[in-house]
Structure 1
Amino acid sequence: MTKPRVAVIGCGGTISSISTHALDVLDYTEFGRKMSVGEALAMVPEIGQFVEPALVPYREVGSSAIGPQDWLHLAETIARMIAQDEGIAGFVILHGTATIEETAFFLNLVLKTDKPVVLVGAQRPMNALSSDAPMNLVGAMRTAIHPDARGKGVLVTLNDEIHAARDVTKTSTYRLQTFRSPDFGLLGHIDGDAVRFYREPLRKHTLATPFHLDAVRDLPRVDIVYAYAGADEVAIKAFRAAGARGLVSGAFAPGLPTPAQKRALEIAAAEGVVVVQASRAGSGRVARRRYLLEKGMVGSDNLPPHKARILLMLALTITNDPDAIQEMFETY
């Protein structure tokens, strides 16, 4: 029987790493090496029991080196492959865990397909003792060809769990169960007998968003201002001098910057910089309370600062109106 074809895009990351010895789960990032996507898949021949992989080499880097230009390249690659080859059942992207949730959320907002797109990483290198990389790879392939994965937006799978790109975040440096969806939980499980989904995302994504690749080739600069006790306005002034069109305030819960930051953000908003108020807490909403409304600022809903930045970057390709951008934060 012919197996479904899955396009497998290699970006590097721990899942594509080889450490200097089997007990190295710490120093491999600097002293190990990154494999090509073909090398990585060759180490897990069990993948062939489920799919026929179509290899798409891209980068072999840690994901701290992945940024907006890579997001655009990945989105364009997937869009082109869909247009050229209708027979592809889905996509799996091998990616480092440091920024996997950001890449996934960007793709979730711009891709125009209902085919499964699954990002997968690992916490231990491929050759480490008790590595999670091989089983994570197999799980991603099984998810990408599962009929229930279709139409659920971009997915992130690790540790036998399936998460929505919008909700998932890395919560631990080394633990295998690092990825969580804090407010609403995971979408499903990847078990030995079956892939099972138990819920689906309600926020609009992929085909239902207004963000199109032909309009987002030059993403505007948006920076994040982190709150800490005694923080002043220096970072805000520096970001504005660098040309930021938007600022995300990663403030104290439930969305309160320091007094100095507050004054500087008010000035920025009054002068046309779009300011989104988020929280550094890691879960929970930042509502557009009366103060934010009167100052022309946006509440991030329950998006953390790094994901609020992505949505704001895309929103600014369409409008500078805080009211319209607020609606986007309540929709996507």
Structure 2
Amino acid sequence: MDLKPNIVILSTGGTITGEAIDMLSTKDYVIGKISIQRLLQSTPSFQSIANITLEEIANIDSADMSNAIWLNLAHKTDNLLKDSNIDGIVITHGSDTLEESAYFLHLVLKSHKPVVFTAAIRPFSAIGSDAIKNLYNAISLAGHKESSHKGVMVVMNDKIYSAREVSKTHTLNLEAFNAPNSGAMGYIIDGEIFFHTMPLKPHTQDTPFNIQDLDILPKVDIVYSYCNDGSKVAIEAFVKVGSEGLIIAGSGAGSIHKTPKDYLRGLLKKQAIIVVKSSRVGAGLVPLTQKELREGFISANNLNPQKARVLLMLALSKTKAIKTIREYFKKY
């Protein structure tokens, strides 16, 4: 009797499928030249840990990830997880926007089964590639008996992260991912799984966000705040093209330069848009003053701007009530 878990790998492209121009290159490579099947065939160890099937969802640089691919990926993953013969899902992804895709699925999937994202910082054909190890660890985690009920997870460089907490914090180093506010959930050593923490915030089956009837996502954009800030022009443009919400990547604890902030106050007074204050710092909470609360600003809690955007899109698919959206940011 075959007791190995049944794991489906959904491929979306990224460096993990990249072929370097030469073995020393970590930046000059072509995405999509090496299939996940080839990675699996590179070592017999993969066959010993799971029964694996593959499906390609996309073959892109993750900088080109879109809402349409997100929705397709979420629908596909949800449907696969309903199959009693499938024990877990691994999603291979480019590292640049992995944290956003993982958090999106963390909020919308409706299953307790393991879903694990992984990527590579160095292409498979480059010296010191992390592609094989990360993929092996992700499959091991997706098939592990203790991996259920933990939401979407990310595996990079032998560490396990919650999709809500993880961020890419280095451009090229193999230790490219961290969870600045919480740390790793656990570790993987030679395929053995060690969990130390659990996600505390609700996810997957315990969120109100359901994409089954969604064909499009509300338009939400990000505006960066800086010295001598001229982002009022960008805000005007985003409003003109139909943005329903804006995430402000503020300085420090979410501070916004006075010129764009005055303009945002006017938009909030007219109820023209939803505005969420986040921070460009990368860690820590964003508090609101009593005046900001009265004006209608929303705190991103400790979500970075790109993840705050994910949550606001899903929030706006349910409601435009500021009070309710504030509660979403506190809870999820």
TM-score (ref. length: structure 1): 0.96
Superposed, 1:182-261 pairs within 5 Å as 182-192=180-190, 194-232=192-230, 233-261=232-260
1:112-142: CA deviations, max 9, x gaps? 0000000000110011111111111100011
Q: Distance in 1 between matches of 2:191 and 2:67?
A: 38
Q: Distance in 2 between matches of 1:310 and 1:16?
A: 26
Q: Distance in 1 between matches of 2:45 and 2:235?
A: 51
Residues 140, 191 of structure 2: 8 Å contact kept: no
SS, match of residue 180 in structure 2:
coil
> What residue number does 1:42 align with?
41
- Identity rate, percent: 38
Q: Distance in 2 between matches of 1:100 and 1:55?
A: 19
Q: Distance in 2 between matches of 1:82 and 1:279?
A: 35
1:141-162: CA deviations, max 9, x gaps? 1100112211100000010000
Residues 19, 33 of structure 1: 8 Å contact kept: no
SS, match of residue 48 in structure 1:
helix
1:69-89: CA deviations, max 9, x gaps? 111111100112223x21101
SS, match of residue 147 in structure 1:
coil
Unmatched 5+ stretches in structure 1? none
- Runs of 4+ deviating beyond 4 Å: none
Unmatched 5+ stretches in structure 2? none
TM-aligned CA distance change 1:58 to 1:246, over 3 Å: same
Check if 1:300 corresponds to 2:295: no
SS, match of residue 149 in structure 1:
coil
Q: State the shift of 1:57 in Å.
A: 1.4
Q: Distance in 1 between matches of 2:43 and 2:219?
A: 40
Q: State the shift of 1:49 in Å.
A: 1.2
> Is 299-308 or 34-43 further displaced after alignment?
34-43
> What residue number does 1:62 align with?
61
Superposed, 1:55-134 pairs within 5 Å as 55-83=54-82, 85-134=83-132
Q: Distance in 2 between matches of 1:95 and 1:33?
A: 11
Provide the aligned C-alpha RMSD in A. Answer: 1.3
Q: State the shift of 1:206 in Å.
A: 0.2
> What residue number does 1:290 align with?
290
Q: State the shift of 1:222 in Å.
A: 0.4
> What residue number does 2:23 align with?
22
TM-aligned CA distance change 1:264 to 1:32, over 3 Å: same
SS, match of residue 88 in structure 1:
coil
Q: Distance in 1 between matches of 2:207 and 2:149?
A: 13
Residues 223, 309 of structure 1: 8 Å contact kept: yes
Q: State the shift of 1:58 in Å.
A: 1.6
Check if 1:265 corresponds to 2:272: no
Residues 36, 57 of structure 1: 8 Å contact kept: no
Matched positions, count: 329
Q: State the shift of 1:32 in Å.
A: 5.9
TM-aligned CA distance change 1:115 to 1:33, over 3 Å: closer
